[in-house]
Structure 1
């Protein structure tokens, strides 16, 4: 298996924010870039991996599409839109050589060969209402579709990983990618000939928003990793980098994490019923704040990990890391400072700033709107996700995405289904059960809480 195709950067979480400093050059004050500034520059302008495909693949891949594509030379804007819609990518809000977020020009430092590679923003760069945001989870991404088309257009063998990458748009399987990559390294990060057979089976999951990591003491959905760990967020480059290269890059990734901790959530762009929101705040602080925190004046976040039998949500992701995988990871360079907690508890209750923009909900993206989240009886079991994140598909009352509810099918049929716009909760790890705390609210109370959540 070509491990480079699995390499990318995932969720970053370091509770450090560095500020710029002034120095004097010949009597002139010069403001040095802060760690956050350096991190933003590194994240948006550099590629940390060798090219996987040729530069021409961006245009060549259209030959595989069912519909005739706009000409990329005479109509580059329409071509870029068609390309982005097919693979679920979004315009870059920074200079990116005309490419969408998630694709980057890259140069092999050994051979000088130039080409394209994915980067962390393929998953962590999203858009809503026509505006792109670094750090918004990409709820449209079709990762397996992109890889399959790129490899076929490149005339190479069919893309194969040995595990599920995604069965539905907007979901990714970063956990299994990392588990495969670390299994092929020894504690000193030299390569193994035979992988560690750790037996872990991660499911695909939703991509969380980066703007909330600054509040966390622990990170990832199970809350088992210290949020100060820089190294844990570099593991997706294990398909390519050596121990020495990781050590050299560690300060740069500390800067990137400082930038991510400076990101602020976008404000809700539609009118809010202020009186109703005040009522909702009171209900929220009585019913929800113990787990999710308070958001008036200085936010206060409790960093709670909720037991599986209490939260009741699909347990597959929490149970996925085997003891052998955890112990192997903890024996490596990545865990020297911050080992993964050996005890599995459940799921971390997330901070909720910008929650209006982060639909679908739960760790696996199985719930389309906040109303569905707060009323478990209303949740659809099988539905088609919208074709874009434009506001024409956004539900301002329920807060989240309008979806087409579909009739249930057998588990066997759901497993065979190749339409990745369809979310089926009978699939592995994609159950929509649990988090029933809102069921006790009256419809009016639920509506008030939702109105308050728009303000966060």
Structure 2
């Protein structure tokens, strides 16, 4: 990656060496455009074709120059028509464009209507990687047609110029830029630093625009739609209500030590069995087998349990401290914990669990690595290990955590878990009513298995929830599942009503807060400004601006199912242009403001397309397990329909023909910060996602942070989040080591085979068949031993793609990309 853009070539937004952006420029002529519109300039406006070219054609060539320059995407001299992009080449000097285009025209066989200079960027059938920037009859098309007419028939040029010209060249939107997720109400109420009054009425939620018929025939496809739910707490209608809900919702999402903070299965109660006294918490070092309480105790709790230390004060009392005489105490808790307080503000000395934070928060380096780095609220860090944490709490004297520290096995790996486990949801949230439990269906439904939590910062960009369009996004109750006051709710009666009432007061404010989150920006900035001019950044990890611009074109325009690519994966039905954006949404200002992509720019960044498993091809266990609750005729058991958390109905997953599983393409804001990838976290970096035939390790392990000096080797550390040391900016993901069968973390003959390390688990699928037919078996510690020793804890950092629900297959349609194209797309994804 270049450290500074200094040459004239790069200043002109040249691309790094790529392949085939320009596509086929040497194939047979295509009848397209005819004589076309020759424009409406006044007679005599241009006296020579050079004058006309400079005014009406050359300004359009900036887009072509993104690829068609030496060393650029289209600089390919293949043997097939599809790879001879070097037949049309420009240079870094726009003053040479006239001669270069004429040379290309001659090389490509001359002509006018048949010229590839016209047909390639205008005819969808030609498979131009950059899409169709010159539609037939458009200003760029007509202007180029006039120039070609002059070259083809010089004697008739004066007549063409006297009545030609086309309209003036339109100013193009930039390829890079746009927002970093977050609800549209954020910027509206902030009003560029001049906050609107509380009385200001909020605009419509952009997701509410995603209804049947939206974006019909456009490049970006929406086929899963918004549904408004009858939430007892309404969505905010004014900036004042929005700000009020942000404050209330923050107590759920990130509250630490404030009165009213929500904790695991307890709502905002100040007393709960799901807590641990600070006296026991302070003795965790004894559970770890250390000879004394280390000076780095707070850091070690965070490392062992998989959490960042809270970035703000999050106190607990140290041994001998009275929390009410020390403002809560002088200890600092990880962000997954909080000390409970009574309604009068007094501290209790008991530590509760911010359960959602184990899966939805992370760590990206430190604040010294750049603005927004460090602890991440609502992210997708995949670092938490509540199995280890709750085992520690149980051993320290908090028996309420026993069920999830040995008796049950909710998460087989650090950073993942069966967190979409609908079966437990039915049991826990039935309000004590046995008629609300579809018993037989629950017993014989499939275990969902390993899931990686999506980041909250993209919640505002999707109309349905979870990896498989399981529920409408506006169905807010489910977001309180981990904080539902369980001891009251599970018994039924008045307690269940009170528990649900707390949920209904908290869910919409929490969602308002979660949807306000913004994804972190790439911490190293651009090597040059987004317009291609030199920037001040010479960090080796800075974004190569021209390469990212090329990636923006590829992401939004390259048809992965173009005829000459021979993609072996069936194309998704329902239209679209076959690009990444077709499923994941449009982000680049140039395409967001292009009416052939989106009906309105308000739809920027929204992803609302489901695809069947024969297209996405990822591990099917998750989708099949969700379908296992449906009856053979596609209906849902009556008992399931009565569950209080399904008050707004189910998502599109449960209305597919033939009970076929589907997956929902996610928005990609902050994707660089959300490794590992796919719905189960089986692929460590984006490079592996884009190159499915290679670079996907079978068994692998992310690096752990180094043990601090002076501490014994028996200390358990979390994942290394140092961006300089542990992150791969070229492949976009955390560094990892390949684990071989027989290495620690594997059991030959059980979860791998020395004779066939890349094959299926050698148990012949026995455990898998059991998990598919008896969901509760997944929750028994069969596949993964309870974490009692350091080695058992370290084994939980090993990801084995041979195991149930952990396959790393899928996304195979990106095999048609070249490595150069992958590099450009990755560079662009850094900008989101």
**Contact (CA 8 Å) 2:287, 2:396: kept in 1 or not?**
yes
Change in CA separation of 1:185 and 1:422 when aligned onto 2, cut-off 3 Å: closer
Map 1:258-277; keep pairs closer than 5 Å: 258-270=512-524, 271-277=542-548
> 1:191 Cα shift?
4.5
Write 1 or 2 for the structure with the bigger share of strand: 1
Of the three residues 566, 573, 586, the one matched with 1:294 is 586
Considering only CA atoms, is the larger Rg found in Structure 1 or Structure 2?
A: 2
1:407 aligns with 2:750: no
Q: Give the 5 Å matches for 1:374-413.
A: 374-376=690-692, 377-387=694-704, 388-391=720-723, 392-408=725-741, 410=748, 412-413=750-751
Q: Distance in 1 between matches of 2:686 and 2:307?
A: 24
Q: Which residue of 2 aligns with 1:5?
A: none
- Deviation of 1:70 after TM superposition, in Å, equals 4.5
What SS is found at the alignment partner of 2:750?
A: helix
Q: Distance in 2 between matches of 1:202 and 1:416?
A: 16
For the Cα contact (< 8 Å) 1:152–1:158, is it kept in 2?
no
The yes-or-no answer on 1:39 pairing with 2:254 is no
Tell me the CA shift for residue 37 of structure 1: 3.0
Deviation at 1:81, TM superposition (A): 1.0
1:83 equivalent in structure 2: 301
The separation in 2 between residues aligned to 1:117 and 1:309, in whole angstroms, is: 44
Alignment root-mean-square deviation, CA: 2.9
**Structure 1 residue 138: deviation in Å?**
3.5
Pair 1:314 & 2:314 matched: no
Q: Which runs of 5 or more residues in structure 2 are unaligned?
A: 1-181, 190-195, 200-238, 256-260, 267-271, 316-331, 367-373, 490-495, 525-541, 558-578, 590-600, 705-719, 743-747, 753-782, 786-791
Task: For 1:83-102, list aligned pairs within 5 A.
Answer: 83-97=301-315, 98-102=332-336
Of 267-276 and 290-299, deviating more is: 290-299
Q: CA deviation at 1:221?
A: 0.9
Q: CA deviation at 1:151?
A: 0.6
Q: 2:820 — aligned with what?
A: 444
Residue number among 326, 329, 349 corresponding to 2:665 in the alignment: 349
Give the paired residue count: 427
Alpha-carbon distance between aligned partners in 2 of 1:214 and 1:439, rounded to the nearest angstrom: 31
Distance in 2 of aligned mates of 1:303 and 1:345: 16
How far apart are residue 57 of structure 1 and its match?
2.9
- Within 2, Cα distance between the matches of 1:433 and 1:69? 46
Return the alpha-carbon distance in structure 2 between the equivalents of residues 184 and 38 of structure 1.
25
Indicate the SS of the match to 1:159. Answer: helix
Q: CA 1:155–1:207 in 2, change beyond 3 Å: closer, same or farther?
A: closer
8 Å CA contact 2:358–2:385 kept in 1: the answer is no
Deviations 1:342-371 (A, max 9, x none): 235311110001111000001111111111
Match of 1:145 in 2: 388
Matched-pair contact (CA < 8 Å) for 1:89–1:141: yes
1:54–1:115 CA contact under 8 A, matched in 2: yes
Rounded to whole Å, the distance in 2 between the matches of 1:194 and 1:151 is 32
1:118 partnered with 2:333:
no
Give distance in 1, aligned partners of 2:587 and 2:337: 35
Quote the Cα distance in structure 2 between the aligned partners of 1:16 and 1:335. 27
5 Å matches for 1:99-178? 99-106=333-340, 115-119=350-354, 120-130=356-366, 131-154=374-397, 156=399, 159-160=402-403, 163-176=408-421, 178=422
Aligned mates of 1:349, 1:65 — CA distance in 2: 42
Q: Deviation at 1:42? A: 4.3
How far is the alpha carbon of 1:133 from its aligned partner?
Answer: 1.4
Please say if residues 283 and 445 of structure 1, whose CA atoms lie closer than 8 Å, have aligned partners that are also in contact: yes
**Quick one: distance in 2 between partners of 1:166 and 1:349?**
24
Report the alpha carbon displacement of residue 238 of structure 1 after superposing the two structures with TM: 6.1
Question: What's the secondary structure of 2:677's corresponding residue?
Answer: coil
- Distance (Å, rounded) in 1 between the aligned partners of 2:684 and 2:650: 35
Change beyond 3 A, Cα 1:411–1:433: farther
Cα offset for 1:204?
2.1
Query: Which of 449, 453, 468 is equivalent to 1:207?
Result: 453
Which is worse superposed, 302-311 or 402-411?
A: 402-411
Contact between 1:185 and 1:192, CA under 8 Å: does it hold in 2?
A: no
* 3-state SS of 1:203 partner: coil
8 Å CA contact retained: 1:181, 1:239: no
Native 8 Å contact 2:451 2:681 kept in 1? yes
Counterpart residue number, 1:219? 465
How far off its partner does 1:193 sit?
Answer: 10
Is the counterpart of residue 180 in structure 1 residue 395 in structure 2? no
Tell me the equivalent position of 1:9: none
- Is the partner of 2:831 in helix, strand or coil? coil
Matching residue of 1:239: 486
- Match of 1:205, SS? coil
Structure 1 residues 180 and 99 mapped into 2: Cα distance closer, same or farther (>3 Å)? same
For residues 182-241 of structure 1, give each alpha carbon's deviation from its aligned partner in whole angstroms, at most 9, with x where no partner exists.
22554xx23549963413312121121111110101011111210011112223326333
> Which residue in 1 is equivalent to 2:84?
none
TM-score (norm 2): 0.48
Assess, with a 3 A threshold, how the Cα gap between structure 1 residues 411 and 354 changes in structure 2: closer, same or farther: farther
* Post-superposition offset of 1:39: 1.6
Provide, for residues 228-265 of structure 1, a one-character-per-residue CA deviation record: whole Å limited to 9, x for no partner. 11112223326333233222431322111111111111
1:146 match: secondary structure: helix
1:338 deviates by 3.5
Equivalents in 1 of 2:513, 2:749: separation in Å? 43
- Post-superposition offset of 1:47: 2.4
| Structure 1 residues 63 and 353: CA distance shift in structure 2, 3 A | same
Q: Say if 2:474 is the partner of 1:228.
A: yes
Could you state the TM-score of these two structures normalised by the residue count of structure 1? 0.85
